[in-house]
Each structure stands twice: as C-alpha cells, then as structure tokens.
Structure 1
Amino acid sequence: MKSTRTFARTALAALMLAGITQAALADQFDDIKKAGTIRVAIAIGTPLFSYTDANMQPTGSDVDAAAELAKDLGVKLEIVPITTAARIPTLQARRADVVISALSITEERAKVVDFSVPYSAITILVSAPKDMKIANYADLNGKRVGLTRATTNDTITTREAKGAEIMRYEDDATLITSVVTGQVDIFSSTPSNMGEINKRAPGKNFEMKFSQLDSGLGVTMNKGEPKLKEWIDGWVTTNIKNGKLNAIYKKYHGRDLPTTVFKPA
C-alpha cells in the first residue's frame, strides 16, 4: 500500500513537472496568434524610420515594416511608443512582443535578446558644419559630440573617440533640436537626421565628415522564443527576396538598402 501511494505521488509530481515544463516551453508566437494582436515597440522620433506625420500619426519605414509583418501574420498591429533607450528594457519587461525600431544587430545586444536576420539597415556617420575640419576620431579630441543614448553610435563613438566630450540625448528628436539650437555642432547619427537638421537650420551646412558603420537592423525578440523567431526570420527572408522591404526602405530613405548589408538578388 505504501509503495502504491509513493508511486502515485511520484507520478503526480512528474505530471506537474511536465505541465510546468510545457508551459515554460510555450512560445510567444502562439500567444500572439491567440490574442489576435502583435505589440510592436517603436521609438517614435527617429526621422524616416519612425516619426509622426502632419496628422500626428506614426509613419516611417519601421512603422510600415511593422504593419506589413502584422498583416502577413494575420493579426492587428498595436504600436507601443517608447524612447530609444527603452527598446530592450520594454521587451524584457514583456510590455511588447517584438521591437522594430532601428535596433542594430550587435554581439553585445545578442547576449540578452534575439534578432531576426536583417530586415533593414542604418548608416552611422559623424557630421559637422562644412567649414569644420574633421576627418577621423582623433579630430574629435576636446570637442563636444552629440548623440542618442543607448544606440550603436553611442557605443562606437564612446569606444573610438575617447578624447571627446559626449553629450547623450534620450531620442533623435531631442538630439536634432540640440544641434539646430546650437547646443552641439558635431554629432554622430544618421543621414536622415542630418537631412532633418539641414532642413531646419539650412545656414549651418552640415555634411558627413566620415562614416562610422553600415549596420543591419533586426526585428528584436526575447530569447527562448524559437517558433516566433523562425516565423519572423522566414518573413524577413521572403520579403527581402521579393523586394517589399527594399521598397519600404526606398520610399522613405530615397535609396536602396545598402549592399554592404544586403547583396542584390
């Protein structure tokens, strides 16, 4: 009798453990499909990638990519507006299912999140007024350089321009305002942000001094979501091959995805 009770308790414990393990292995992909909505975190304030239009509606290449992904997944899109620095924390806190927000694929970030294969790309450059002589990182010594916090350009500039005074801003919109109002004259950012600055302050004549990186951007997910990652990787690959993601990029950025990241089909 005692052995029977022991066996029953062991069997029950095994079933409970199996249930817990199964729940732990449940993939977010199924949860998204069941909810009928995918929550996509996007930092609204990155010109050309994600910003508000004249009607105060979110637009840009990342917004269009997110809408296309939700449509192909067969669910509604819910945009979770965030700051640039909050992209990974928002994901880790499970306040969003994925991030599509100009997030460069780096080894350091890949330690804490998973990336899809690249769906888009971003060029990072150092820009300053035309009459300022800057050709490399050494020329930034003793100078004030503006950039957006928690970005790839933050990491690169901090590492390479050790003699510079780095001014960090919470999002691209604040960085742009700081440059336009003269708080900083040198910045590390993107061609689209440089274009926006020149549009707002044409007399300053900002130009690219040197390129820092052409970086692939990934749809970002929490680790341990193999089914979701497999679907998104397949979706990206298909839409790179059929040209849809290139068309979205070209619509806003005025050029094809860079061949340094994407080889022509």
Structure 2
Amino acid sequence: MKKNLFKKLVTGVLATSLGVVALTGCGAEKTSDKGNQAYRTLDEIKESGEINIGVFSDKNPFGYVDDNGDYQGYDVYFAERLGKDLGVKINYVSTEAANRVEYLETGKVDVVLANFTVTDERAEKVDFALPYMNVALGVVSHEDHVITSLDQIGADEQVIVISGTTAETYLEQNESDIKLQKFDTYAAAKTAFENGTGVAWANDNTEVIAYAKENPGYVVGISSLGDQQSIAPAVTKGNSTLLDWINDEIESLGEENFFHADYEATLLDTYGADYEDTLVIEGGATK
C-alpha cells in the first residue's frame, strides 16, 4: 500500500517536471524580469531580429500614419535609423500619451519614441536616454477669442488637454482653478476643439504651433508656458544595456548632424527654418 502510494507520488512529480521542461522549450518568449517589470535586453532584441517601438499614430508631424498606412514623422525617422543600425526589423506599436509608461512597464514595447517629455515624475518610472528635441507648453485658441494669458479663461470655461501629458500635469499643479476637458487621443481632442469644446487647447508648443499653421482660424496666443523641457527616448526602468546603446547612438548620430536632417525631412514644412536650431538637440547636448 505504502509502496503504491510512493510510486504514484514520484510519478506525479516526474510528470510535472517534464511538463515544465516541455513548456520551457516550446518557444516561450525570452524576457528579463526585474521585480514587477519585464523587458528585453539589447542582446535579446538582436537575437529576436525585431524591436518594438511605441510611436504616435495621430500626431502629425511627429508620429502619424499616412494615406498608404505607413508610419511617418520626426520620431519615426529616428526610429528607422535605430532599427537600421541595430540590424533588426521594427514593429511599430501605436501609442497614446497616457499609456507610454504602461507599455514600457509591461514589456509591450522596448522603446518609446512618442514626443516623450522628460520630467522628474516620469523618470521615477522609466529610464530616459539623451534628449533630441527641446519643447515647452503652448496654448492655441480661436482667432475670434485669442487666449494670450491664462487669466482670460473664465470660471465656467474649459481648456482641452490630452490625458497623460505635461500640459495636464502643469495646469493641475499650477492652475487648479481652470477646468480641464481631457481626451485620450489627439484625434479626439482635435475633433472636440473644432466642434467648439473648450476655449483653448494646451499642449506641447510644437504641437499647437503646427496645429495653428495647418488649421486657418486658430492662433497660438501663448507660445511658451512653464519651463523649457526636452524630448527623449525612454526604455523600461533598469534596461541598462538598451539605454547605453541608445545613448551611444544619439551621440554618434550627432556627429553627422542627423537630427537636423530629420527636422529638414519631416518638420521644415510645418515650422520653417527659423525654429530649427531652437527645437533640435544634436547629439544629446542641451544648450
């Protein structure tokens, strides 16, 4: 009786062990797991032959999908070079402002190149590489009621913001009396703004300047709100091998004036030559 019981227990343990081995050898995705965060190291990305890059799909001219279904824009131009120099295929993942951190923390993307402004709060959750663009906040409004100061916004009026952006954070922390109308996507915010929701739209100044240039009837009454900040790639917290490679890449690209070339290929038509040296950070070196 005891022998039969012992035999059953041993058989069960062996079966379980073999099952684990079988599952491990069946092509399970290889990731590095640090605490609650999962990420792929540089070597694992190279071994897979593919890198997952989070970009916007509706924020022209930084990240958007063109009429042919292809990703285009300033961030995408940079992403294409990263993929080329890594020697891997790029899998673009459409990203919204509010889920950039989440996509890195869950390993859905390896890198975020989605007009990501560097802040102390975000740096606690992700690792930022060297910057490649300057940015401040701006406010766009209708030409019939141009907002040149936040003091002009009435108690019952609303300002449009995108959830998860620095504009949302800045206004909540510094202008708590202003009512915010929040949207998850740029497309939804644009549609609402054009349909009369909100007296103004607060966002990165690059975004609102582009919007006003592309949409007659709108004016950027506030072109710089708060401190000037920078845009940088981000990787999952602790992914030092990928972070170090990206930093080396940005410094190397600076030697060939890559980001000025990127600007001229993707942003020149929108902003003109006058903004180029103001917006572009070459080789990670801030002014």
TM over 0.5: yes
Corresponding residue for 1:16? none
Q: Is the CA contact (8 Å cut-off) linking 2:63 and 2:76 kept in structure 1?
A: yes
Question: Aligned equivalents of 1:169 and 1:221: distance in 2?
Answer: 25
Residue type matched to 1:154 in 2? E
Q: Is the CA contact (8 Å cut-off) linking 2:139 and 2:208 kept in structure 1?
A: no
Residue 233 in 1 paired to residue 222 in 2? no
Question: Aligned equivalents of 2:115 and 2:279: distance in 1?
Answer: 18
Residue type matched to 2:241 in 1? K
Question: Aligned equivalents of 1:192 and 1:250: distance in 2?
Answer: 17
Equivalent runs, 1:126-205 vs 2, <5 Å: 126-132=139-145, 134-142=147-155, 143-189=157-203, 190-196=205-211, 199-200=214-215, 202=216, 204-205=217-218
SS of corresponding position for 1:118: coil
SS of corresponding position for 2:130: coil
Question: Aligned equivalents of 2:132 and 2:223: distance in 1?
Answer: 25
Q: How many residues align?
A: 241
Q: Is the CA contact (8 Å cut-off) linking 1:169 and 1:175 kept in structure 2?
A: yes
Corresponding residue for 1:256? 276
The CA deviation at 1:261 is 5.6
Question: Aligned equivalents of 2:165 and 2:262: distance in 1?
Answer: 23
Unaligned runs of 5+ in 2: 1-31, 269-274
Residue type matched to 1:222 in 2? T
Residues 24 and 260 of structure 1, relative CA distance in 2, 3 Å threshold? closer
Q: Specify the structure having the higher radius of gyration (Cα).
A: 2
Unaligned runs of 5+ in 1: 1-22
User: What TM-score, normalized to structure 1?
Assistant: 0.82
Residues 90 and 44 of structure 1, relative CA distance in 2, 3 Å threshold? same
Residues 259 and 84 of structure 1, relative CA distance in 2, 3 Å threshold? closer
- Within the candidate set 22, 36, 42, 2:55 is matched to 42
Residue 100 in 1 paired to residue 92 in 2? no
**Per-residue displacement from partner, 1:17-38 (whole Å, max 9, x unpaired)?**
xxxxxx7689611110110111
The CA deviation at 1:188 is 0.5
Moved more, 99-108 or 117-126: 117-126
Residue type matched to 2:124 in 1? K
Residue 215 in 1 paired to residue 235 in 2? no
Equivalent runs, 1:80-119 vs 2, <5 Å: 80-119=93-132
